[in-house]
Structures are given as C-alpha cells and as structure tokens.
Amino acid sequence: MPGTGSGVSAYVRSWTVSGKGTDMLKWALIFLVVSLVAGALGFTGVASGAKTIAKILFGLFLLAFILLFLLAWGAGELIF
C-alpha cells in the first residue's frame, strides 16, 4: 500500500492527499460550468446533458467521500 504507516487509514490518507480523489469533483464542476454557459447561450439540450453528467459525477464523488470517511473512522476506532 502506498503512503506511510499501515492499514486502511494509511491507504485512505495516501489516496486523498495525492489529489486523485478530487478528479471526479473537478469534472463535476467542469460539467456544471458547461451546463450554465450552454444554458445561457440557449443550447438547452447541451445544458441538460451536461447538468445530468454533473449531477451523476457529484453524487459519485459524495458517495466515495462518505464511504472513505466511514472506512477511515472505522479504522481509527480499531486502532485506538
């Protein structure tokens, strides 16, 4: 496992610190901006598609965050 230490919490720390965990949120925000710009310019079909993609990516990011938070919290209780 990458990072220092051992166990799940070290893996979670190395995964989130390296920046890989923010890629999904970055893409969700990009699709949100595309949706807003397309909607402002009148391309409602493109805006609707981009909005749907942004919502899905944000939901996946939120789910991954909650799952990793609970895993790290559980590992912390097991260690301490």
Confidence band (pLDDT; 50, 70, 90) for 4? low
| Interval 42-70: pLDDT, tens | 888 888 888 898 899 889 999 998 998 88
Instruction: Look at residue 20 in the predicted model and tell me its pLDDT.
Output: 59
Instruction: Look at residue 23 in the predicted model and tell me its pLDDT.
Output: 81
Instruction: Look at residue 15 in the predicted model and tell me its pLDDT.
Output: 46
Residues sharing a CB contact under 8 Å with residue 9, sequence separation 6 or more, in sequence order: 72, 75, 76, 79
